[in-house]
Structures are given as C-alpha cells and as structure tokens.
Chain A
Amino acid sequence: MSGVILGTAHREFVKGNEAICHGALAAGCRHYFGYPITPQNDIPEYMSAHMAGHGGVFLQAESEVATINMLLGAAAAGKRVMTSSSGPGISLMQEGISYMAGSELPALIVNIARSGPGLGGIAPSQGDYFQAVKGGGHGGCRIPVLAPHSVQEMYELTLLAFELADRYRTPVMILGDAIIGQMKEPYSPGLHEPPAPIDKPWATTGCVGRPRQHVKSLYLKDDDIERHNWRLHEKLQRVENAEVRAESYHLEDAKIVLVAFGTAARVCKTAIQWARKAGIAAGMIRPITLFPFPKALVHETAGRADLMLVVEMNTGQMVEDVMIATSHHDKIRFVGKPCAMPTPDDIFSEIKRLAGKTA
C-alpha cells in the first residue's frame, strides 16, 4: 500500500474526500448518515447525489449525536454503514462510538480533522490523534484507526476499514485531515479488491426461525461485564497481532528516522528526498494503522538508528506512542506544527540540524 501508482492502470483524478466515497460504494456501503461540518462536506454532498442511484440510503441527521445512533441501528440490522465528520462532530459521536464498540458493531467513521480545541479552526491538524487512538469514548473503548496519506489510500483504506470492521465486529476510524481531503491526485480503483460481503448471524433482523437475539452493551452482573471486557481486550490483541500496517521509507540504512503519518508524512517524504541528495541517510516509518501502532518496527529501528524524529501537525501526541514502543528515549526528537502543514523546508532544516549534531 503506497501513494505511488505508475504505469498504465486506469487512473481517476479526484479529491481525497471523493475517493473515500468511491471506496465506500465499492465496498457495498449503502447507508450513509451524517451532519454537515467543514472540511468534510464533500463526502455527504457526494453521497447525497449518488446513494439513491446505488439503491442506498443517504440521511442528513439533526446532529452528530443522532448520526452515530442511526449508524448503530443500521449496523445492528447487518448493513455496511458509514459516517464522516470533523473534530467537534466526532466528539459528539463518542458516546455512540463507545456503545458500538461495546455492542461490537461494525461501521466506518471518517474524521477529516480540523484544528482545535473547541471550535478551533478549519486549518488542517493532527490534533485528534489522542482522541482517535486512545479511545475518545468512555469505558475503555478503543477502535482501529487508519491514516491515509494519499488519495489512493483514501480509497484503499476505506475498503480495508469495512473489511476490518466486519472481521472484528468493531467500528473503524479513518483519520485524515483537510489537506488529504481537499487535495486531488490520480488514483487507481482497480488495484484492490473490495471486501466481499460476510454473513452477520448476530444481526437483529427479526427472529425468523431462530430464538430472539439482542445487540447490547449492558451487562449488569459483575462477572458478565468483566468477561465482556476481557473478550473485547482479547479481540483488540488479535487486531494488534494481525493488522499492524506501516510503510518503511528509505529505512534500510537510515540513521535519522522520521516517524510521521498522513499529510505530515507526505511532507517528510519530500524532506527525506532532499536529505538523501544532500548525503544524509534519512528515512521514515509511516504508521498506516495508528491503532494498532507499529511498535515492533519502531523499537527495532530505534535500536540501530542514531535519532528518531517524530513529525506531527500538533504539539506532540504520537510521540508518546513512539516512547511507549521503544526504550531508546534519548534518541527521540519531536517537531510539531499545530494547525498548519509544515513545509518540506521546515523538516529538511531540522534533519540537517540533527545530522550536524550527530556527525
């Protein structure tokens, strides 16, 4: 999985937000619920125009609170469902996300993040990292989080999100930002098979020929809720064991290893290309799954690299996961730019400065 698509495969030129819609429709998602918020309105606008033509349902809810619960209901009925929003709306959805994690309901939730806290601004930001990967909802809820860095990945990771959601019976989040949502790039829809529909015998579709069944997250007996918690934990461990994805970029001989995701990783790639031309052995780990985090790769790389430079569009969040992943804390550096995209020059000068110190 990467942003490089050369050759003659059929390519479409669309913005990232639209590629998510293409992916969702290809994956068989026919139920979209949402509420307007900048900078992701292209997604509900596209879905409102195209869902009916695919025999699906588009519904603009009265709030993000209602949205996520409509998702809950349609997911409980066994459908592939999705919504999209941005920070303030995702905060409102956290109640429902926790209920869906507790009730083990598959769904895709897209966060095209903006700046915060509070109303913040519509500038691109990665400030929602903690909320996304540490479980913004109550009660120890955590869900897989995917971080696309190209329009191609906006499409592919949407397919993957539905696949993981169904396989593990969990909501899955795509964490993007305004840049990756608004930028256009060619992408090839044909490179990745959409996930096949799967049986959902647990769904509440009416008890024809079987005993009644329930979708719920309430377990009032002490033992029951503890067992339920351990079961959810074991499921997340299976996700951690099987679903870690990361791109290794010029990593083999890298002495200065950047760690960045999403849009920030795009900028880092340019800075690394410049650094390589200047004779600096720079490389990058780009987590594609933020949860599960590529701990092993980070730890193994930190052992042999001179320095680990974490680059984020916030004041330092993923850097904590890097510190959890490795004991080489003395090698970890951080450069952050909240609420704006760093330029390749910003990152390149930091790489040069660090290279000068280690030389």
Chain B
Amino acid sequence: MSEKTNTDVIFAGFGGQGILMVGNLLSIAAMDEGRQVTYFPAYGVEMRGGTANCTVVISDDEIGSPVVGHPRACVVMNAPSLEKYQPLMVAGGTLVVNSSLVGKGDVNRSDLSVLFVDANEIARKVGSLQLASMVALGAYAAKTGVVSVETLCACLPKVVSKKYEKFIPLNISALKEGASFA
C-alpha cells in the first residue's frame, strides 16, 4: 500500500519507442484516479541525442520534487537505460526490463524486484513493434498496482491523437498482454 500511496517511476529508452507517451498515459490515469501526479520529460538537447526518458511521481499528498535522484521504479527499454538507472535505484525498487533488447545477465542488483518482459516480441505479436513500451507499462502497472489497467485503457483516447485513434484497440491489447505477464 505504501508503494501505491507515494511512488515514482522513470521510463527510459530510445527516442521513438513511445517513452513519453506511456509516461503521459500513466500520469493521466493517476490523475483520473484522483491522485496527485507530476510528469517531467527530458527536454532540449537531450531530446536530440536519440534517448528519451521521463519521470512520473504519483502521490496522495502534495508532490515536492518532480525529478527523482533515486527512483523507486524504472522501466528500461534498452541497454543504455539499464546502465544509467540500475545503480541509482532504491533498494527494494521495481525494475521492469525489456528483455528483447537487454541481456538478463546485465541486471546485477539483487535487492530489486525485477520483471523481465519480452516487450518487443509481445508487441510484434499484438500487431506492431511500436507498442513495446505500452506492453512494458501494462506489466509495470499490474505488478505495482499503482493504477488499474482498466484506467490506463480508458485514458488512451486522451493521449492518442485523432490521427491514430484507430490503433487504440491495439494499444489496449498491448497493455493487457503486458499486464498478464506480471
């Protein structure tokens, strides 16, 4: 329950993996469940370096810092992100790893709760490689219970632009496939 009351998560991966979109979706779902939430994206020069990350803090109380030095959870979609964030995580934190692109042997912390998700492979089966982050978000949400997968599905229309509305059912499948993995 304490994790649900007050938690934070960093999503990290390549630009184009939909990292910022899943961060936004989680934030809006948390808001719709009546929580306080902050979302902070890497911006500017970092944006152009080919990596993407964002930090989401969720709480029932006023949130202080939107940026976190030692995250309680990380969803890492590629190897450089694991390398960057694994050492920073708090003991007992939740680490969701995209094992399609990250070797299991690279996870060297024994004090974390680790979930390997073959996100690329699952996404491909659901219908598009671009859904990999959505799969990982589903897994993270189901594992931690921070928001319900139903709320995430219900909030999809708020983050998917009109142009891509027709892909909402695929996104729902991706979230659910990821959730079933947890």
A interface residue count range (under 10 / 10 to 19 / 20 to 34 / 35 or more)? 20 to 34
A183 touches B40 (CB 8 A): yes
* Nearest CB in chain A: distance from B52 CB, A: 13
* Nearest CB in chain B: distance from A36 CB, A: 13
| B24 contacts across to A, CB distance below 8 A | 13, 184
| B70 contacts across to A, CB distance below 8 A | 343, 345
Interface membership of B141, Cβ < 8 A: no
B31 touches A11 (CB 8 A): yes
- C-alpha gap A39/B39 in the complex (Å): 17
Stretch at the interface among A167-175, A267-275, A317-325: A267-275
A13 touches B67 (CB 8 A): no
| B34 contacts across to A, CB distance below 8 A | 6, 8
Interface membership of B66, Cβ < 8 A: yes
Interface membership of A2, Cβ < 8 A: yes
* Partner of B44 from A2, A3, A122, A268 at Cβ < 8 Å: A122
B65 touches A270 (CB 8 A): yes
- C-alpha gap A341/B69 in the complex (Å): 10
Chain A 197-231: CB-based contact to B (< 8 A → 1; otherwise 0): 00000000000000000000000000000000000
Chain B contact residue count (CB 8 A cutoff)? 24
Chain A 313-345: CB-based contact to B (< 8 A → 1; otherwise 0): 000000000000000000000000000010111
- C-alpha gap A268/B63 in the complex (Å): 11
Given the interface pairs A341-B67, A345-B70, the reply to whether A182 lies near B41 with Cβ below 8 Å is yes
Interface membership of A131, Cβ < 8 A: no
- C-alpha gap A5/B31 in the complex (Å): 11
| B66 contacts across to A, CB distance below 8 A | 179, 183, 185, 266
- C-alpha gap A186/B36 in the complex (Å): 8
Interface membership of B62, Cβ < 8 A: yes
A269 touches B65 (CB 8 A): yes
A186 touches B37 (CB 8 A): yes
B69 touches A13 (CB 8 A): no
| A273 contacts across to B, CB distance below 8 A | 64
- C-alpha gap A46/B64 in the complex (Å): 27
In the complex, the chain B residue whose C-beta lies closest to that of A341 is B67
Within 8 A of A (CB), among B36-57: 36-41, 43-45
* Nearest CB in chain A: distance from B56 CB, A: 9
Within 8 A of A (CB), among B8-64: 24, 27-28, 31, 34, 36-41, 43-45, 61-64
* Nearest CB in chain B: distance from A285 CB, A: 15
Chain A 1-34: CB-based contact to B (< 8 A → 1; otherwise 0): 0111110100101000000000000000000000
Within 8 A of A (CB), among B125-140: none
| A69 contacts across to B, CB distance below 8 A | none
Interface membership of A38, Cβ < 8 A: yes
In the complex, the chain A residue whose C-beta lies closest to that of B30 is A186
| A182 contacts across to B, CB distance below 8 A | 40-41, 43
| A268 contacts across to B, CB distance below 8 A | 64
B64 touches A344 (CB 8 A): yes
B27 touches A38 (CB 8 A): no
| B37 contacts across to A, CB distance below 8 A | 13, 185-186
Given the interface pairs A3-B62, A13-B31, the reply to whether A184 lies near B67 with Cβ below 8 Å is no
| A266 contacts across to B, CB distance below 8 A | 63-66
| B27 contacts across to A, CB distance below 8 A | 13, 184
| A179 contacts across to B, CB distance below 8 A | 40, 66-67
A4 touches B31 (CB 8 A): no
Interface membership of A178, Cβ < 8 A: yes
Given the interface pairs A13-B27, A13-B31, A184-B24, the reply to whether A39 lies near B43 with Cβ below 8 Å is yes
A184 touches B39 (CB 8 A): yes
Chain B 77-92: CB-based contact to A (< 8 A → 1; otherwise 0): 0000000000000000
* Nearest CB in chain B: distance from A256 CB, A: 16
| A13 contacts across to B, CB distance below 8 A | 24, 27-28, 31, 37, 39
Given the interface pairs A39-B43, A39-B44, A178-B44, the reply to whether A184 lies near B38 with Cβ below 8 Å is yes
Chain A 254-296: CB-based contact to B (< 8 A → 1; otherwise 0): 0000000000001111111100000000000000000000000
| A346 contacts across to B, CB distance below 8 A | 69
A344 touches B69 (CB 8 A): yes
Closest A-B pairs by Cβ, 10 of them: A270-B64, A343-B69, A269-B64, A184-B39, A4-B62, A267-B65, A270-B65, A122-B44, A183-B40, A186-B31
A-B contact pairs, 8 of them (CB 8 A): A179-B67, A183-B66, A185-B37, A272-B64, A343-B70, A344-B65, A344-B68, A345-B69
